[in-house]
Amino acid sequence: MNIHNKISIVLASLAVSVTHAGAAEITLVAPGGIRAAIVAMIPDFERRTGHKVNATFGSGGGTKARVIKGDAFDVPVVQPPLGPVVASGHVVAASETPLAIALVGVAVKTGAPKPDISTADAVKRMLLAAKAVAFPNEATGAAAGASFNQTLRKLGIAEEMKPKIRISQGGRGAMEMLARNEVDVGVTFISEIITEPGVESVGALPRDISTATGLVGYLSAHAKEPEAAKALLAYLSGPEAAKVYIASGMVPGK
């Protein structure tokens, strides 16, 4: 069963309580790591409330920069560190709402043998044996790329891996390179692996060598539809959302 079917089953099983009074259009901005889950949840939220959600996605760093600059979104979703976001004055600090945790994982082309990544030593052997490895560009704000660069440094193979590294534009770009056989290993958030054709997730990198990324929602200090925005934040952090995050390869926020 693919990820889209899993999410459809999760949403179809939910009890629906629809209220169309005071319908509003809510704007949301979020990093690509949470895109699959939010896109899957929007139709159910809209059906329940009558509100409409206009979502925009980008890199983690790019999204945060837009929020700090004051771009108008009712619900910004950002990754740590959160200090600069709160200090900008463009979010309501008290509305801070943990949504989900994105884990960095390894992908191979569909049907290819899945390597052992259960330990740091196994990951090191896998990477050194790979012909080429694709992952998102840390320089453009990709949190998965930043995390994986840290992993290479922790493993002590950052310099050795340089000739094998292929930098991509976003996690989807890394998966497209893998599907086209340009690399034999792809690395990005699991939530960005399981939605892409032609690739399969091997699993998450061990947490002792890989930093997960928390995703946090806020109410904008300039929200045009504050009550509707609060309803969306509540939905995205509720029990229904938790099931979708799990189906999307994420861990519900604490």
Tens digit of pLDDT for each residue in 207-237? 999 999 999 999 999 999 899 999 999 999 9
What range does the domain containing 31 cover? 3-102+213-252
User: 98 and 219: one domain?
Assistant: yes
Supply the CATH number for residue 218's domain. Answer: 3.40.190.10
pLDDT at residue 87 above 50? yes
Predicted pLDDT at 72: 87
Question: Both tokens of residue 167?
Answer: 């930098």
User: 12 and 56: one domain?
Assistant: yes
Binning the chain into helix, strand and coil, the percentages to the nearest 5 are 45, 25, 30
Q: Are 57 and 35 a contacting pair, CB within 8 Å? A: yes
Instruction: Work out how many domains the chain is built from and give that number.
Output: 2
**Cα–Cα distance list, 251 to 39, 98, 101, 247 (Å):** 17, 11, 5, 9
Tens digit of pLDDT for each residue in 122-160? 999 999 999 999 999 999 889 999 999 999 999 999 999
